[in-house]
Amino acid sequence: AQKVTQAQTEISVVEKEDVTLDCVYETRDTTYYLFWYKQPPSGELVFLIRRNSFDEQNEISGRYSWNFQKSTSSFNFTITASQVVDSAVYFCALSEWETSGSRLTFGEGTQLTVNP
């Protein structure tokens, strides 16, 4: 069975601080996909990134970066120089390779609050 753990339930930072959201996963599959989604107060889940299990290169997109370490089953997400608009719930998710990455198992989410 697949499982995603986001140990940080809530994080509060002051604007311009860097913040890292942790994600640890469990799966018996050797190939799989990992995702991060953002859920602002409006409720819609916004796709941020997808990584496949054989690509361990870190990725940077603007102020966002992701660190994937297969050895520790972790896929952490860092926001650099946080802004108030980053306030949201962030979900890490895992999916089977066979479904092409679209049947998702989500973690419980981390509520990020960025204060001005």
Partner 1 sequence: EAGVAQSPRYKIIEKRQSVAFWCNPISGHATLYWYQQILGQGPKLLIQFQNNGVVDDSQLPKDRFSAERLKGVDSTLKIQPAKLEDSAVYLCASSLVAEAFFGQGTRLTVV
Q: Decide: is 108 part of the binding site for partner 1 (CB under 8 A).
A: yes
> Rounded to an integer, what distance in angstroms lies between the CA atom of residue 27 and that of residue 2?
5
> Rounded to an integer, what distance in angstroms lies between the CA atom of residue 85 and that of residue 93?
22
Least spacing, CB of residue 42 vs partner 1, in Å? 6
> Rounded to an integer, what distance in angstroms lies between the CA atom of residue 55 and that of residue 61?
16
> Rounded to an integer, what distance in angstroms lies between the CA atom of residue 113 and that of residue 29?
34
Handedness of CA 87, 88, 94, 98 (dihedral sign): negative
Q: Decide: is 104 part of the binding site for partner 1 (CB under 8 A).
A: yes
Find the binder of partner 1 among 32, 36, 109, 112 (CB under 8 A): 109
Residues 74-93, mask of contacts with partner 1 (x by CB under 8 A): -----------------x-x
Find the binder of partner 1 among 1, 28, 41, 44 (CB under 8 A): 44
Q: Which residues bind partner 1 (CB under 8 A)?
A: 4, 33, 35, 37, 42-47, 50, 91, 93, 100-109
